[in-house]
Amino acid sequence: MKILVSNDDGIWAEGIRALAATLAQDHEVWVCAPDRERSATGHSMSLHKPLMVSPAKTSDMIANTKAAHMTSGTPADCSKVALGALYQDIKFDLMVSGINHGPNLGIDVLYSGTVSAAMEAMLLGVPSVATSLYSYSSKEFEDAASWVLDFVNNNDLPALIPPKTFININLPPGARADYKGVELTKLGNRAYEENYEERQDPRGNKYFWLAGNPIEGLEVDGTDGFALLNHKVSITPVQFDMTHYDHISELKSQLKL
């Protein structure tokens, strides 16, 4: 298959290196990713400034890929410029984003650049998968990438993923041999105990740094977070239509329009 790869951790991150190189063992792979860390940028795009694009330098990551470019933009920019300009003559079978450094569970999908890269490709008509690892240790990306390759090889994803839908995959930490299975899940109840730490720069100006840890104990059976807590791979089909259909008729009867 012809596969487009992107991420939000930047083109030199360990996760995308492992993913691109591993997928390139069996498929034709093109890479377009941010030139720096772009985590938690959501689905933002560069509309009011130039989008700088340049070929990536030769490295182990791109040794077996067809081409690789890095951009000054967001993950959504990368999917958009790759499909609309850089590789516009290529008919991609699949887009795979990641492997993200850290999980993307529940509400994370609203903020995640990794997820947004997959969603933008989906909006442009390419079946897409977002992949994340519940760990920040680079030595574990090879096993995660190996699982993703087998998942791609063993399933006809272009046929299985319906329009306006992408697949969000979260992989547990550690060796692949220690995975406890795979579960089809729904988005969970991920939430954070957030706080803004007030600081002062060398010139005396006040600034704030957002910090916070995930709140434990919110996940229930059947959710993506619960699957990971039980050391399983979580696979969640996600659609961008957030309309609350059941509430439309109630609003229609109660609103004064």
Tens digit of pLDDT for each residue in 103-154? 999 988 998 999 999 999 999 999 999 999 998 766 789 999 999 999 999 9
CA contacts within 13 A on the Cβ side of 83: 28
Task: State the Cα–Cα distance between residues 148 and 232, nearest whole angstrom.
Answer: 14
Q: How confident is the model at residue 240 (pLDDT cuts 50, 70, 90)?
A: confident
The confidence score (pLDDT) of residue 191 equals: 64
Distance of CA 101 to the CA centre of its chain: 10
Instruction: Just give the CATH number of 2-188+220-254.
Output: 3.40.1210.10
State mean pLDDT over 199-220: 77
Tens-place pLDDT, residues 56-103? 875 656 778 999 999 999 999 999 999 999 999 999 999 999 999 999
Q: Could you state, in order of their start, the residue ranges of all structural domains in the chain? A: 2-188+220-254
Region of poorest pLDDT, from 30-39, 62-71, 211-220: 211-220
Helices (H), 155-244: 157-160, 224-229
Q: What is the mean pLDDT of residues 218-231?
A: 90
Residue 44 has pLDDT above 90, yes or no: no
Structure confidence by residue, pLDDT tens digits, 170-204? 999 999 999 999 999 999 887 666 677 888 889 88
pTM: 0.90
Of 62, 53, 52, 50, nearest to 12 by C-alpha is: 62
How far CA 33 is from CA of 5, 11, 208, in Å, comes to: 8, 5, 29
pLDDT at residue 61 in the model: 64
Q: What average pLDDT does the chain have? A: 90
* Count of H-run helices and E-run strands, the chain: 8, 11
* Alpha carbons 153 and 70: distance in angstroms, whole number: 27
pLDDT at 43 over 90: no
- Nearest Cα residue to 130 out of 138, 151, 142: 151
How many Cα atoms within 13 Å fall on the side-chain side of residue 31? 37
Q: What is the mean predicted confidence (pLDDT) over 196-219?
A: 77
pLDDT score at 64: 85
